[in-house]
Amino acid sequence: MKGVDEAGAEKQAPEQQETPVLRPRKPAKPASKRVVRFLPLVLLTLVIAALAVPMGLGVAPGFLGPGFMGAAGTPAPKVPAWQQVPKQLSRTQIVAPLDASAPVPLPADVTNQLNALLTPDGGGDFTGVVEDALTGLPLYDRDGAKNRVPASNMKLLTAVAALRAIGPETRFSTRVLAGPSASTIILSAGGDVLLGDGPSQPSEVLGHAGLETLASDAAKALQGRGVKGPVTVQLDDGLFTGPALNPAWSLDDVAAGETAPIFPIALNSARTSPGATTGARPQDAALTAAEAFAEKLQAAGAAAGFTVVPGVERASAPAGKQDVLASVVSATVREQVDLMLETSDNYLAEVFGRMAALSAGKPGSNDGATAAVSAQVAELGIATDSMHLADVSGLALGNQVSARQFADVVRAITSGPDTRLRAALAGFPVAGLTGTLGDRYGDASTSQGAGLVRAKTGTLNSVIALSGYVVDANGRLLVFSFIGNGLTPGAAGNKVALDRSATALASCGCTGG
């Protein structure tokens, strides 16, 4: 597939350690000279200590409370046991594999608990499915086969398609090619929309490949070829076809920055800066990235003896064997999928759909993406006849997927035979800790699920969804999907209903004992 680079799967050689050099020890100075030399240092230390004591008495109460160290004659309070230094360290604990013989919850007990919790706040209704991950035994089913608008739970299907069709260790390359003349170069888009505008950052996912590094390497290559004078930069972003903006999306959502026209190259997932998560996006992310590259090349070219012609125009790379001047590669698909799930990145999801389509020999378009995702889900043995996909990020209201299909997809990820899908496990937000669940599970009714529930969220105006997995109180791995449609917009109780239901599964000992 054009633009997909497997170079990331290559093993890197371990760093070489320096061999210590032994040098002859210098003769020691006489003791009297050593004392004289260090006497000023000792005196300075005593002065600092003398000043530090009264300062510490004044500062410490500000950190430790008014009763600390006898402030104002108040005796120091007893330090709680959990704040004291332990007398001995506890034994190292290792997370053991799940016990396949752990008792399976009774469906009647699970149903009784969830029916009391999974209730809408105002209008609308919830559907839901809970399954035993190991056996697939259904433990709860409320209209589980009913089609629903799933919101961003759609990204679970897209994650599966990306990992299966593209491969977890694949990286996308962004290349600089020699153009039709010695003074023309072509920036060739290869599917990396997480480019940074600075140096490449190998330890990061966003900004793993940097335009500054790409420009620097390209400038060296041009200098090596003796290129002088103005250099023209062209852009080949023809990897994707069809409309860049999905007609199923609301233009209000586009204007609000929920997504943007989809291109196979972008900075910061088509955001204005690495830290931006809301607000307007560039409407031509590819050209924005190309112009940023040209600026970096202009800076690098100053030392290499050439300048860059202002402006970037689109062009097609020469057919046949291409002359690569420089290239940078993205983080792996595995790492990008985790970022997509954790942050619910609509733009990245749509790019994954098109890249999965290209990998399967389909057009890199909206229709190609939805067809590729549906096909990959079907190949897992999950019935897709009733499924309808209008996009692959979940922003479109035309998507129709059931809670049972989502539960089956989560089960395929956690315990199915295709082990490539395990790469998505780390991307599920953790209740109360990470991603789109980081600010949830903080009240008394849900705190028992914090750190235990791992699930993909989904939210639209009248839609809310939560699909994921949890280990119950008896050590049984459960997968679940809860979807609400037709809900009262802004009603706070709907999100709480989902979180309480997932928390109930985490603390469930539902075995009738």
Q: Look up 90 and say whether it is catalytic.
A: no
- Please state the φ and ψ torsions of residue 500, each to the nearest 5 degrees: -65, -35
CA dihedral defined by 499, 501, 507, 509, rounded to 10 degrees?
-170
152, 173, 216, 359: the active-site residue: 152
Q: How far is CA 145 from CA 284, 288, 299, 405, 480, in A?
A: 40, 44, 58, 8, 13
155, 362, 456, 495: the active-site residue: 155
- What separation, in Å, do the N-terminal and C-terminal C-alpha atoms of the chain show? 56
| Angle of CA points 400, 405, 410, to nearest 5° | 125
Q: Look up 155 and say whether it is catalytic.
A: yes
* HEC secondary structure over 403-458: HHHHHHHHHHHHHCCCHHHHHHHHHCCECCCCHHHCCCCCCCCCHHHCCCCEEEEE
* Whether 205 contacts 196, CB under 8 Å: no
If one counts every other C-beta atom within 10 angstroms of the C-beta of residue 331, the result is 23
Q: CA 191 to CA 176: how far, in whole Å? A: 14
344, 415, 462, 481: the active-site residue: 344
Q: Look up 188 and say whether it is catalytic.
A: no
Q: How far is CA 421 from CA 110, 129, 165, in A?
A: 28, 21, 11
**131-168: b (≥16 Cβ within 10 Å) or e:** bbbbeeeebbbbbbeebbbbbbbbbbbbbbbbbbbbbb
Q: Which residues of 171-266 form beta strands (DSSP E)?
A: 171-178, 184-188, 229-236
Q: CA 176 to CA 195: how far, in whole Å? A: 14
- Please state the φ and ψ torsions of residue 186, each to the nearest 5 degrees: -125, 125
| Angle of CA points 215, 216, 220, to nearest 5° | 115
Torsion sign over Cα 359, 396, 379, 347:
positive
- The pairs formed by 357-363 with CB atoms below 8 angstroms and a separation of 24 or more are 357/165, 358/1, 358/2, 358/3, 358/4, 358/239, 359/1, 359/4, 359/165, 359/166, 360/165, 363/241, 363/242
Q: In sequence order, what are the beta bridge partners of 367?
A: none
Counted residue by residue, the chain has a size of 513
Our measurement of the distance from residue 218's CA atom to the centroid of its chain's CA atoms, rounded to an integer in Å, reads 30
For the annotated catalytic residues, the residue numbers are 152, 155, 344
